[in-house]
Amino acid sequence: MPLEFYKYQGTGNDFVLIDNRLNTFFKKDTKLVAAMCDRKFGIGADGLILIENHPDLDFTMVYYNSDGNLSSMCGNGGRCITHFAKFLGMIDGEAKFEAVDGMHHASLTDDKISLGMNDVDSVSVFETHVFLNTGSPHHVQLVSGIDKFDVFSEGRRLRNAVYGSAGANINFVEQVSENTFKVRTYERGVEDETLSCGTGVTAVAIAMFEIGKTKSNAVVLETPGGTLEVSFQKKGNSYQKVTLTGPAVQVFKGVWP
């Protein structure tokens, strides 16, 4: 049966969005998800997202990586699905929804989406990097000359050598000013550099605050795909009221196959 889909992107992090409120999508077909996300033979995307009914909230978000497997939270995907819900008439200016890591609240102003992320209660600081989970596991590492840095090779090495089969997302960071950082991310599941990673820039903002590279609780993150903002409040060892803000754009719609 033909599947109607919508292509979205949030700072270059792109997704296939499908309205699955009638449960027409065969969710265990990982080969179908991978085929739709394939950039040479399919639509092309970093991931596929289903919007589904929820008994109490506005909707449920189901996220697949481009390899076809169900994955952890995707921040840019959360912003895109909020825009999609508004397009479908499911919400107006605000949304409450459930993702794999729990409940989220989002607000919309035109194409700019602010997404509430989960609290972060544990930040592990090592000599060469910082590790934390912002809905997905993230390795954050400062580098110099980030524009020419070999993100693919070094990201792939760290993802496998340090984190094994489960993997982690690898973020390379260079400071631009007191509260601005450049970020490039190698994402597990995509197994390549993506133009932007929402949970990744969230991790970077918190990590840079934790190690004293910034004193600001409102951080600007410049990715290859565009600029995102992360704000938070620190109480004790916990980072709370974490918010990821940036654009979400509907690119086109189509029918598969």
pLDDT in tens, 17-44: 999 999 999 999 999 999 999 999 999 9
C-alpha span between 159 and 120 (Å, rounded): 21
The string over 45-69, giving b where at least 16 C-beta atoms fall within 10 Å of a residue's C-beta and e elsewhere, is bbbbbbbbeeeeebbbbbbbbbebe
**Are 134 and 240 contacting, i.e. CB atoms less than 8 angstroms apart?**
no
Return the sign of the alpha-carbon dihedral for residues 130, 107, 50, 52: positive
pLDDT at 227: 98
Place of tokens 């820039």: 201
pLDDT at 111: 84
Average pLDDT over residues 198-211: 98
pLDDT at 192: 96
C-alpha span between 228 and 221 (Å, rounded): 5
Average pLDDT over residues 134-153: 97
C-alpha span between 196 and 8 (Å, rounded): 13
Note if 37 is an active site residue.
no
Note if 74 is an active site residue.
yes
Please list the residue range(s) of the chain that carry CATH number 3.10.310.10: 3-115+248-256, 123-246
Residue 257 above 90 pLDDT?
no
Burial of 78 (0-12, 13-18, 19+ CB in 10 A): buried
At the topology level of CATH, where does 3-115+248-256 sit?
A: Diaminopimelate Epimerase; Chain A, domain 1 (3.10.310)
Return the sign of the alpha-carbon dihedral for residues 92, 54, 229, 246: negative
pLDDT at 110: 83
Return the sign of the alpha-carbon dihedral for residues 90, 93, 99, 102: negative
C-alpha span between 36 and 219 (Å, rounded): 34
Q: Which of 37, 51, 61, 74 is catalytic?
A: 74
Pick the CATH number of 123-246 from 3.30.930.10, 3.20.20.370, 3.30.1330.40, 3.10.310.10: 3.10.310.10
Q: Which of 197, 204, 219, 242 is catalytic?
A: 197
